[in-house]
Structure 1
Amino acid sequence: MTAGVEFRGLRRMFGRTVALDGLDLTVRPGELMALLGPSGCGKTTALRCVAGFEHPDEGAVVVDGEDVTRRPANRRDTGMVFQSYSLFPNLNVRDNVAFGLRVRKVPAARRHARAAELLELVGLPTHGERYPHELSGGQQQRVALARALAPEPRVLLLDEPLSALDAKVRLTLREEIRRLQLDLGITTVFVTHDQEEALSVADRVAVMREGRLEQCAPPAEVYDRPATPFVAEFVGTMNHLPGRLSSGEVTVLGMTLPVEGPLPATPEVDVLARPEAVLLTPDPDGEGLVVTSSFRGSSARLRVRLGDLEVLSDVPGHDTVRLAPGTRVGVGLVRRPVLVAGRAGES
Structure 2
Amino acid sequence: MTTTTLKPPYGAPLHPGSATVEFRALRRAFGSTVALDGLDLTVHPGELLALLGPSGCGKTTALRILAGFETHDSGEVLVDGKDVTRTPAHKRDAGMVFQSYSLFPHLSALDNVSFGLKMRGVGKSERRAKAQELLELVGLPQRAAHYPHQMSGGQQQRIALARALALQPRVLLLDEPLSALDAKVRLNLREEIRRLQQELGITTLFVTHDQEEALSMADRVAVLKAGRLEQCATPSELYARPATAFVAEFVGTMSRIPAVRSGDGVEVLGRRHEVDGVLPAARALQVLVRPENVGLTPGGDAVVTGASFLGAVTRLTVRLADGTEVKSDLPTEQAALLPVGGGATVSLPDRPVLVDVATGK
| Residue of 26, 30, 39 corresponding to 2:55 | 39
1:190 correspondence with 2:197: no
Shift of 1:345: 5.2
Instruction: Give the CA deviation at 1:248.
Output: 2.0
What is residue 288 of structure 1 aligned with on the other side?
Answer: 302
Between the two proteins, what is the percent identity of the paired residues?
Answer: 65
Match of 1:15 among 24, 31, 39: 31
Deviation at 1:41, TM superposition (A): 0.5
Alignment RMSD: 1.2
Cross-structure match for 2:13: none
1:169-208 Cα offsets, whole Å, 9 max, x none, are 1111111111110000000000001111111100000000
- Paired residue type of 1:102: K
Q: Residues of 1 paired with 2:76 and 2:291: CA distance?
A: 41
Q: What residue is the counterpart of 2:90 in the other structure?
A: 74
Residues 131-170 of structure 1, C-alpha deviations (whole Å, 9 max, x = no match): 0001111111010001000111000000000011111111
**Superposed counterparts of 1:116-135, under 5 Å:** 116-135=132-151
**Counterpart residue identity of residue 201, structure 2:** G
Is 1:59 equivalent to 2:75 in the alignment?
Answer: yes
**What is the TM-score normalised by the length of structure 2?**
0.93
The 8 Å contact of residues 228 and 262 in structure 1, kept in 2 or not, is answered as no
Determine whether 1:257 maps to 2:279: no
Which residue identity lines up with residue 315 of structure 1 in the other structure? L
Secondary structure of the 2:85 match is coil
Structure 1 residues 1-347: aligned runs within 5 Å? 1-283=17-299, 286-307=300-321, 308-344=323-359
Deviation at 1:267, TM superposition (A): 2.9
C-alpha distance in 2, partners of 1:225/1:260?
9
Q: Deviations over 1:316-336 (max 9, x none)?
A: 122232223233211001222
- Residue 2 of structure 1: SS of its match in structure 2? coil
Aligned residues of 1:12 and 1:18 also touching (Cα < 8 A): yes
Greater shift, 219-228 or 327-336, is seen at 327-336
Contact 2:265 2:279 in 1 (8 A): no
Contact residue 262 and residue 272 of structure 2 kept, 8 A: no
Q: Output the amino acid matched with 2:313.
A: S
**For 2:307 and 2:118, how far apart are their aligned partners in 1?**
58
Once residues 37 and 341 of structure 2 are traced to their aligned partners in structure 1, the CA distance between those partners, rounded to angstroms, is: 50
CA distance in 1, matches of 2:92, 2:165: 14
1:254-298, Cα deviation, whole Å (9 max, x unpaired): 111111223221232011011111100122xx1122222111112
- Equivalent-residue separation in structure 1 for 2:278 and 2:210 (angstroms): 26
Amino acid at match of 2:331: P
Query: 5+ residue gaps in structure 1?
Result: none
